[in-house]
Amino acid sequence: MEVSLGQKHKQAEFPLVSVSELSSSSSAPSSSPVVARFSINSGVPELRFHQETESNDAFNVDLRTAKLFKLSSIQSVCISEGSEASKEKTYSRGVTIQFRKEDESRAFHCAFEQWKKEVVVQGSHLQNGTVLASKSKFDDKIEASSAKMYFHYYGQLLHQQNMLQDYVRTGTYYAAVIENRADFVGRVVVDVGAGSGILSLFAAQAGAKHVYAVEASEMAEYARKLIAGNPSLGQRITVIKGKVEEIELPEKADILISEPMGTLLVNERMLESYVIARDRFLVPNGKMFPTVGRIHMAPFSDEYLFIEIANKALFWQQQNYYGVDLTPLYGSAFQGYFSQPVVDAFDPRLLAAPATSHMINFTTIKEEELFEIDIPLRFTASVGARIHGLACWFDVLFNGSTVQRWLTTAPGAPTTHWYQLRCVLSQPLYVMPGQEITGQLHMIAHNAQSYTISLTMSAKMWGPGAEQGGILQTSSCKFDLKEPYYRMSQPQAYSMAQDQQPHQLLQTQDIQIQAQEEEGSDLMQQPSQNSGDQLH
């Protein structure tokens, strides 16, 4: 027996032009009218599609697990969950819905959402019913206020323009996609965090069969406009507004593409969403662009930067500020300024030792492994200097079948909007050439979509008897990656003296990268300075 779900929703029936299963090769209008009806059957809320004259020929959708996506102003797709016997969710059935007019499409979507909400409200009273979780995986680990600001920020065109005008970033992505057409032609692509949709358009240019552009911010509406304005490509792109942790797709992807990198690679914690999308949507052995990322680190010496930060706290040394002694807060202010990692572009000649690196393989890493990252540090000083802290940057590899292309943010390479990052110690270390520097970089994720960084650096004994070990000096500091000190607002390129060779961090050899190499492989070599150049 079918009953109406209360009297709240006056219109429970919607006339349609046509309904066809996704597996069907055609969607020709039926000779008799097609109707979509919301109802409850045996305590289960459902959406039923049927022809008015053929009531037995119906397709029912369980509203407790159904998802509805808009493909165009008058076309949508509705998918439903498969067998509950399986431990994994499978969305094996779906229908394409064709409406007569745009306002009828809007009314149907509104009714769908209202009935879904009613399911949650009355879920405990439904026979054999299950209530969907009110919070997603994303909501469980990210503070609501942080997420709101994050999506508001990325929902602005001015920020998207800033990223698009980073020609190293955009040009490298374009080159990585176009040069690897073989990976995209005839393939299904998911663009994770699509933003303006530029990467989806690149994938379509490379011959993708279909691209699902997933974007949680209001930028999704702008992406729809941009894609609609490029109809030759846009007809193969579907924009889906939502988080990858929450949305469902009608099919699996052969390849994921995304720009999930933040400052120091991991800031904003979008790498976790990238990994979740891999586990939810990517076919086995599917490709990921980018494939791996590396965080590079080296000690640096920069007296000017150290003095600049230390001098900021001098304000609090005033003993008569309008009759008030500010000095009790000087120590806290001093430590506060040194708790901000510095984001800027610096001269690679400031590095005091060859760099070391920590690799993250996006194809194999587990989400929880990104919650806490521990990197041991060991360097050999190449110069005698005061060590003021640890300089960091990152690069990512697009491991295409045809071309392996790197995007690097290294000092001395063309500057990107990520710049580089430096953790400045409040107590510098003194080292001599050949002296060993050890330590630890420990990063713990927090719910403001960033990381707390703990840095310890120690200068070991040197000269005769150094093999006995022993620490001469140690310095530690804690930083909040969420609150950096942006030292410059415009890219600044540092030229290399003609007679000066950069440290080993920029010396490379071009080699082929094997797609199935395990994390930590020695085959991963440093990218060249030109690896981030835009495509000419």
Task: Let me know if 259 is a catalytic residue.
Answer: yes
Q: Is 102 a residue of the active site?
A: no
Q: Which residues of 467-488 are buried (b: 16+ CB within 10 A; e: fewer)?
A: eeeeeeeebebebebbebbebe
Question: Which amino acid appears at position 128 of this protein?
Answer: N
Catalytic residue from among 46, 215, 259, 517: 259
d(CA 163, CA 119): 41
For 192-230, give one letter per residue: b (16+ CB within 10 A) or e. bbbbbbbbbbbbbbbebebbbbbbbbebbebbbebbeee
Q: What's 175-219 look like in SS3?
A: HHHHCCHHHHCCCEEEEECCCCCHHHHHHHHCCCCEEEEEECCCH
In DSSP terms, 380 is beta-bridged to 436
CA atoms lying within 13 Å on the CB side of residue 20: 13
Residue closest to 207 by CA, chosen among 177, 229, 228: 177
- DSSP assignment of 422-440: EEEEEEEEEE-TT-EEEEE
The phi and psi torsions of 177 (rounded to 5 degrees) equal -80, -50
Which amino acid is located at 264 in the chain?
L
Residue pair 256/286 in contact (Cβ under 8 Å)? The answer is yes
CA–CA separation, 458 and 17 (whole Å):
72
Catalytic residue among 46, 118, 268, 272: 268
The answer for residues whose C-beta is within 8 angstroms of residue 119's C-beta and 6 or more apart is: 45, 63, 64, 126, 129, 131, 132
Residue with tokens 């593409």: 257
User: Would strands 75-80 and 93-98 be described as parallel, antiparallel, or unpaired?
Assistant: antiparallel
* CB-CB neighbours of 6 under 10 Å: 10
DSSP annotation of 136 reads -
Beta carbons within 10 angstroms of residue 359's beta carbon? 15
- C-alpha 416/C-alpha 490 separation (Å) is 10
Instruction: Determine the number of helices (DSSP H) and then strands (DSSP E) in the chain.
Output: 12, 25
The whole-angstrom separation of Cα 381 and Cα 439 is 13
Q: Distance (Å, rounded) from C-alpha 425 to C-alpha 264?
A: 17
Residues annotated catalytic, as ranges: 259, 268
